[in-house]
Structure 1
Amino acid sequence: MEIFKGNRIYNFMGKRIPFLGFSAILVIASIVLLFTKGLNLGIDFAGGTLVQVQYEQKAPIDKIREVLSNTKYKGSSITEFGSPTEVVIRVTGVSSNLTNDIGDEMHKLLDSTGKFEIRRVDMVGAKVGGELREKGIMALSLSLIIILIYVSYRFEWRFAIASILALAHDIIIALGAISLFQVEVNLDILAAILTILGYSLNDTIIVFDRIREGIQTSKESELNEVVNESVSRTLSRTTLTSLTTFFVVATLYLFGGEIINGFAFTLLVGVVVGTYSSIFIAASFLVQLKFSIESFRAKEAEKVKRQKEKEKIRAMYEKGTV
């Protein structure tokens, strides 16, 4: 199935400067958001306690806040969770006062607010939260390094640099969206970011593979023309894959419930930005890095020549002439 005509070549590289400019604006805006608003770190990374409470009637958030204001839980974040009858109480910065029976303690404190039950209690120490944060950053950094090595081995160093720049572009914009909407950053969000890395890289590798194939088979000597043809050939596949993924993730976001909303939102942003970068940005970086078709073809010809010489020597060895 093809959405776009298979024989039509779109001039993507002719518009690469406006697209790169648009991406630069998004990246700069995302960085500004990260430095000004910051990330809304959840208890997984900041440490703290989360208590999920379900009432039989509409949750009296104002009354809960008033009751807790006179206790050691003063300043807790109290928000509706999925429905008007459920709330989540978040206490950041765990102290030595918080013990394992916090559920029972919270139950006694909120007894005057109505009939309810404690659905969930999660506690993460400050030290554990710091370790999770460090390991999350390490996992992200190692992923980028391994990707750089893999793409350099499979293609050429300029392809690797272009792919890493495209992935950094996707991650920064996704983090900017998370900061803008103050999505709570927890282990689920980290998993979503790593998923975006894999998804975006997969699309980028397919485009780069087609570009490499185009360089080897096409008679064109201009990189822009080869890139336009290669990206146009993968356009239907990229669009169909992205739309399928988008609809699935959108369904999770709309109907999956409050617990996975942050994860689904991050993936939604990642799918859109990853598709955009695979089509318009990754190859543009390759052009900006002054990739040379002539040098690449010469290296490939040398590889073929060496391979033929090895095969010739092996054949002579098998015949006993060497």
Structure 2
Amino acid sequence: MRWFETPSFDFIRGQKIAYLFSGTMIVISIVAIFGLGLNYGIDFRGGKEFVFEFDQPVDVVELRAELTEPLGTGNAPEIKLFGSDREILLRTDAEGEIDVVRETIMSTFAQLYPDATVTVEKTDLVGPRFAEDLRQGALYSIIFALAVVFIYIFIRFKGWYFSAGAIAALAHDVLIVLGVFTLMAEFAPFDMSIDQTIIAAFLTIVGYSLNDTVVVFDRIRENSIIYKTMAFKDMVNKSLNDTLSRTVITSVTTLFVVTVLFIFGGEVLKGFAFALVLGVILGTYSSLFVASSLVLELQKRAMKAKAKS
């Protein structure tokens, strides 16, 4: 880490490149979210969800085609491999008792694979009204968290541009992760649906990214007292360099932990861990290139407006 003992990187110079990269990623994410739609899990969509394990490889295309008629929904059930070619995740909005639906599915499996042994690993049932309430609750929790962060930053640093920069960076991280989940939902080898676990990951990302951002803002405030004659742009850049060692060490160690969780945590935790991996990377990037750059830009505009008045 000697490379980070006395760093002198010009982060502000990369401001335009960072804006271009972030802007592109945000546009792609928004188009994906509104174009493809969020891939809600059973928690937020309602219906029935099963995880089955076979003792031999299965063909999900064949299963999807054969189960459409027995389930009687008019729509093919959502089926994807769940970690291996012997495990599947099946979602359906078929009507009827969950035990009856499960037996219908098992009967179809027995016809297609008469020699196979099938184990039911997981069964979930969520009503549509409850799913709607959960969706609203999840949305409100994220909005409330961002609102509290805005007020906290505003009071602590006594500048609206600090609050705006922090909120923009947090929204940037969550939106891009959400876009990645939407784009990868159809072909990912593990479940990437948006459920309560992923909402918990989003709130964790908000906390992690905020922690990094506050450390940088604290150093900016300290340097503004020590170096009163220094230009605000140079002060921001110096503050980023002063905290770089801490930022890198924290990010690398956290990334190592969540990567281990992703690899060895099992199929149920893969979506959660993957969201955290993306969140740590984006949180570090946004603290260095998004939040501080926005603070600099907004402070410059605030000073110009104040001068004109």
Question: 1:34–1:179: 8 Å Cα contact kept in structure 2?
Answer: yes
Alpha-carbon deviations, 1:59-99, whole Å to 9, x = none? 353553344232125511122212222222111x464x244
Partner of 1:80: 81
User: Normalized against structure 2, the TM-score is what?
Assistant: 0.87
Instruction: Give the aligned length.
Output: 291
Match of 2:189 in 1: none
**CA deviation vs aligned residue, 1:130-168 (integer Å, no higher than 9, x gap):** 111000000000000111111111112221111111111
1:250 counterpart (232, 238, 259): 259
Counterpart of 2:13? 14
Structure possessing the higher radius of gyration over alpha carbons: 1
CA distance in 2, matches of 1:46, 1:231: 43
Show the counterpart of 1:196.
205
Alpha-carbon shift at residue 29 of structure 1 (Å): 1.7
1:147 pairs with 2:156: no
SS in 2 for 1:70: helix
Task: Give yes or no for contact 1:43–1:50 (8 Å, CA) kept in 2.
Answer: yes
Provide closer, same or farther for how the CA distance between residues 60 and 11 of structure 1 changes in structure 2, counting only shifts above 3 A. closer
Q: 1:162 aligns with which of 157, 162, 165?
A: 165
Correspondence 1:88-167 to 2 at 5 A:
88-91=89-92, 93=93, 95=95, 97-112=96-111, 113=113, 114-156=116-158, 157-167=160-170
Q: Is the 8 A contact 2:42 2:125 kept in 1?
A: yes
Conserved in 2, the CA contact under 8 Å of 1:47 and 1:94? no
- 8 Å Cα contact 2:70/2:104 also seen in 1: no
Unaligned runs of 5+ in 1: 295-322
Mark the CA change 1:234 to 1:293 in structure 2 (over 3 Å): closer, same or farther. farther
Q: What is the CA–CA distance in structure 2 between the aligned matches of 1:228 and 1:63, rounded to whole Å? A: 58
**Match runs of 1:1-322 below 5 Å:** 2-73=1-72, 75-91=76-92, 93=93, 95=95, 97-112=96-111, 113=113, 114-156=116-158, 157-182=160-185, 183-290=192-299
Any idea what SS the aligned residue of 2:85 has?
Answer: strand
Residues 34-62 of structure 1 deviation map (CA, whole Å, 9 limit, x = unaligned):
12122211111111111111222223535
Q: Is the 8 A contact 2:48 2:98 kept in 1?
A: no
Contact persistence 1:200–1:278 (CA under 8 A): yes
Root-mean-square deviation (Å): 2.1
Tell whether the 8 Å contact from 1:77 to 1:90 is kept in structure 2 after alignment.
yes
Identity score, percent: 36
Q: Say which is worse superposed, 52-61 or 273-282, in terms of deviation.
A: 52-61
Query: How many Å separate the matches in 2 of 1:283 and 1:46?
Result: 38
1:107/1:118 contact within 8 Å kept: no
Give yes or no for contact 2:29–2:179 (8 Å, CA) kept in 1.
yes
